[in-house]
Structure 1
Amino acid sequence: MKFIVKLHPEITIKSASVRKRFTRLLESNIRVVFKHRDVDAAIKNSWDKLEVRPRNQEPDHIERVRSALAHIPGIEQVLEVKESQYTDFDDIYQQVSAVWGPRIADKRFVVRVKRRGKHDFTSVDVARYVGGGLNQNFPSGGVSLNNPDVEIQLEVDKDKLLLIEDRFKGLGGMPLPTQEDVLSLISGGFDSSVASFEFIRRGAKTHYCFFNLGGREHELGVRQICYYLWQKYGMSHRVKFISVDFAPVVNDIVENCESGYMGVVLKRMMLRAASIVADNLQIKALITGECVGQVASQTLTNLHVIDQVTDKLVLRPLICMDKSDIIKRAREIGTAELSETIPEYCGVISRSPNVKASLEKTIEEEQKLNLELIEQVVRASNVLDIRNINQVFGQEAKDIEAVSDLPQDAVVLDIRSPEEEDASPLELDTVEVKHVPFYKLERVFSELDQSKQYYLYCDRGVMSKYHTLLLRERGFQNTHLYQPAKPSVANEPSKEG
């Protein structure tokens, strides 16, 4: 068994020098991935294809070859070829029928033959003999030269028979790193994960910038997604994962900005910070998972206002995709199940977000902020080699079980933003409820009566769990996580709001 690797068509139409460079990069990438996946194979680089010959023909080893080749950018399709000796036409027919006979039941088929070397027969002679035998001895739908359901390909190369037993589609795209590096602003949701994949597939080394708005558990989940994307699709090259604690910036925005402008201002602050990170990595382009019209900050007007804050090229590969198509793509590439475990951050939510933000008004709102925080949080960011991304940082995240039944003497701390609390007040008949916004909680908690037991609450349970962890780490063991029991409702998941 050997594998014939076909190049993506866009590679084959490039100039001779570019095509040669791309093919060499692809060969190198295959070798690196094979080494990581414990694959032993010889690779031969030809003008229009690569030939991979596994030195170990055991089924599990062959399956590792298949899996590796299916997920390397730049490969259009892979042919699985069985190479053998033959004696005459009947021997060729017997070998072909053993593989393809059962597969043509009730299907129209055609036999295509290529021939190399000197023979006393033609390619058409072989095709007619094999095709006639299959048609006579197997219950097929007959031979169809122009519109077959099944195409049987074989090659007679001197005294060898090369029979294509199977084929599978590759990723397409371009080999890494034929394009310049990019920095993906990744949240772990469906959108940013798919956007990152699309640039890996296109041949760009994709580094990850994560703005931590949901705490330790959020970061660990996003790390898992980034590592998955790298390991499965981009393992041939090292990239960076940069985690920026954006809580101080969020606190500043929530405390000082007009509600309707919070979303646009937050996105601009993220682009400011990402631009600094990109400069440090000598990267010129930023990637986001934004889709026009999906949420208030993603109207054309607001995207234009957001982009004015940076001189970097901001690329949005999903800009015209429907959410359902994005989720479908996430399932295809394997990130959907991971993204479904990433809770949405429940902090900056505008009650009436402005869908046509004025640039002048946005700048006016930003003048209320401490812009020095941007450089401060970037300087304090955690930069990791993607290979080490699964190392748990600091103290292990603790398991905290949510409580739905509260004791009589409990005090519930509603840590939602004022806008969220006003829109949907938490009212409990027998338990005291205090509203302490999450961005003030750490400062004021020590001033509360420490003889009481406090149960933290937010709509989605992300910030409440995060701050429960933080308070416990600071010695406040009288903190717990509160989530009211709710009937389960099947909703379409959305992770990029």
Structure 2
Amino acid sequence: MLAAHLIYKFIFGGTVLYLVKLFPEITIKSRPVRRKFIRQLRKNLREVLKEFDEGIKVTGKWDVLEVETSNDESIITKQITERLTCTPGIASILKAERHPLREMEEIFQLTLKAYGEFIIGKTFAVRCKRNGQHQFRSVDVEQYVGRGLKKHLKTAGVKLKKPDVTVALEIKDEFLYIIREQVKGLGGYPLGCQDAVMSLISGGFDSSVSSFLTIKRGLQTHYCFFNLGGKAHELAVKEVALFLWMKYHSSHRVKFVSVPFAGVVEEILTQVDDSQMGVVLKRMMLRAGERIADDLSIKALVTGESVAQVSSQTLSNLAVIDTAIDSLVLRPLCTVNKQDIIDISRDIGTEDFSKNIPEYCAVISKKPTTKANIGKVKREESRFNFDVLEFIFINDETQEVERFFAG
């Protein structure tokens, strides 16, 4: 596709057109499931794009969606493109011109007008994708247009492998699409196609990235925060949740539950053996998270744990931790290296938030066990006053993420 410095905004007929290509895993679903996913994606796109244009059109039913806006301001088209690239369910976004399909010569003339100034002095190749019944093949279009461009312009010639400029055309039924820019999408499934989950978020690298990954997979992701660091800690984590919501899943309303957990930690510090503190703390968090999730009819929890990253995350310890509840616990990062997690956080935009948030759970135990025994853990928990755990449900606070810092 065009090099970045050649990409520019294009306007035709007062509208800007985007072709939205579906995430490939959607296209291999059964017809009813595929139809459901596409319908959900259309709905999501209308929701996240309406702030840019109340009259924005999202059409298409099967293999590609078309997004049309009459707002051709460059800043708006840039924001629309960015929003599309951050919406789950999309493989790629193509900015395109759409024309009625006529004779081969007109295809060439339209392509010459669109691409002419960008291939002068450069190597190029014409690529055509075709769908529908026509009297010509895709290669016929490529050869005809390629010969014409070479004849009419002072180019560096045709180069089929790694050209400076790829002249991209698509023909679908009775329409010609001249592709002016292609941007990679987020992939994954449309948000709302799967059940909701509750992410236990601390604001650090791991929980932020694991939340992003469940969002990307189409899971409506709500947040549960165990406050161990006071109001400043809560505000910092809310900023992370708000950022994720605004950028990746604003098509749906999302809840943020803040749980005062300092009392639970204090009880653990006074009643539980040092070596078992980390495991017991995680079990208490799962218990609290499950109850909060149940109240919201959410059936699964999400954590940012990665196998062996810290002492509480050995397989033995994770197995014991999970026995505290019946709900499913998802660990999207279970096999991901720490540096890779940090790299993902940088890519998705959460790094600057996460690197400034302290890790409170890591300082609770001086000599943590790496091979927890369920019998010993239960004996330690028998000394824990579970009234303290009940108390947090009286004082937890639930907010809609979109209402953060409002008014």
Deviation at 1:198, TM superposition (A): 0.6
Q: How many residues align?
A: 388
Task: Specify whether residues 363 and 123 from structure 1 end up closer, same or farther in structure 2 by C-alpha distance, changes over 3 A only.
Answer: closer
Match status 1:191 vs 2:201? no
**Counterpart for residue 273 of structure 1:** 288
CA RMSD of aligned residues (A): 2.5
Verify: 1:58 aligned to 2:73, yes or no. Answer: yes
Tell me by how many angstroms 1:176 deviates: 1.4
Cα distance in 1 for residues equivalent to 2:174 and 2:322: 63
Name which of structure 1's ranges 37-46 and 317-326 shifts more when overlaid on structure 2.
37-46
Check conservation: 1:290, 1:298, Cα contact below 8 A. Answer: yes
Structure 2: unaligned runs, 5 residues or longer? 1-15
The TM-score with structure 1 as length reference comes to: 0.73
Residue 209 of structure 1 pairs with residue 227 of structure 2: no
CA distance in 2 between partners of 1:99 and 1:376 (Å): 70
1:133–1:97 distance in 2 versus 1, CA, 3 Å: farther
Residue from 270, 274, 278 that aligns with 1:263: 278
Question: In structure 2, what is the equivalent of residue 446 of structure 1?
Answer: none
Q: Please give the residue correspondences for 1:136-155 in structure 2 after superposition, counting only pairs within 5 Å.
A: 137-140=153-156, 142-144=158-160, 151-155=166-170
Distance change (3 Å), C-alpha of 1:125 and 1:276: closer
Q: Which residue of 2 aligns with 1:132?
A: 147
Residues of 1 paired with 2:319 and 2:394: CA distance?
28
Report the Cα distance in structure 1 between the residues aligned to 2:329 and 2:197, rounded to whole angstroms: 10
Asked if structure 1 preserves the Cα contact closer than 8 Å seen for 2:119 and 2:165, the reply is no
What is the SS of the residue equivalent to 1:21? helix
Structure 1 residue matching 2:29: 3-state secondary structure: coil
CA deviation after TM superposition for structure 1 residue 345, in Å: 2.5
1:240 corresponds in structure 2 to 255
Do the aligned partners of 1:45 and 1:51 also contact (CA within 8 Å) in 2? Answer: yes
Which of the two has higher C-alpha Rg? 1
Match of 2:301, SS state, is strand
Do structure 1's residue 218 and structure 2's residue 233 form an aligned pair? yes
Q: Any conservation in 2 of the 1:92–1:161 contact (CA below 8 Å)?
A: no
CA change 1:352–1:129 in 2 (3 A) is same
Specify every segment of 5 or more residues in structure 1 that has no aligned partner in the other structure, as ranges: 393-497
With over 3 angstroms needed to count, the CA separation of the structure-2 counterparts of 1:304 and 1:44, relative to structure 1, is same
| Paired amino acid for 1:112 | C
Give the corresponding residue for 1:35: 50
1:282 Cα deviation from its structure 2 partner: 1.1
CA distance in 2 between counterparts of 1:352 and 1:126 reads 70
Q: Aligned with 2:199: secondary structure?
A: strand
CA drift of 1:279 comes to 1.0
Which residue identity is paired with 1:109? A
Find the residue that maps to 2:50 and give its secondary structure. helix
| Distance change in 2, residues 1:79/1:90 (3 Å) | closer
Give TM-score, length-normalised by structure 2. 0.88
Structure 2: distance between partners of 1:257 and 1:199:
33
CA distance in 1, matches of 2:375, 2:190: 43
Give, in whole Å, the separation in 2 of the partners of 1:374 and 1:81: 57
Distance 1:227 1:271 in 2: 23
1:84 is displaced (CA, Å) by 4.6
Aligned-pair distance for 1:375? Answer: 1.8
**Alignment CA distance shift 1:38-1:53 (3 Å):** closer
State which of 128, 131, 145 in structure 2 corresponds to 1:112: 128
Residues 1:251 and 2:241 aligned together: no
Deviation at 1:122, TM superposition (A): 5.8
Which of 1 and 2 has higher RCO (CA within 8 Å, sep 6+)? 2
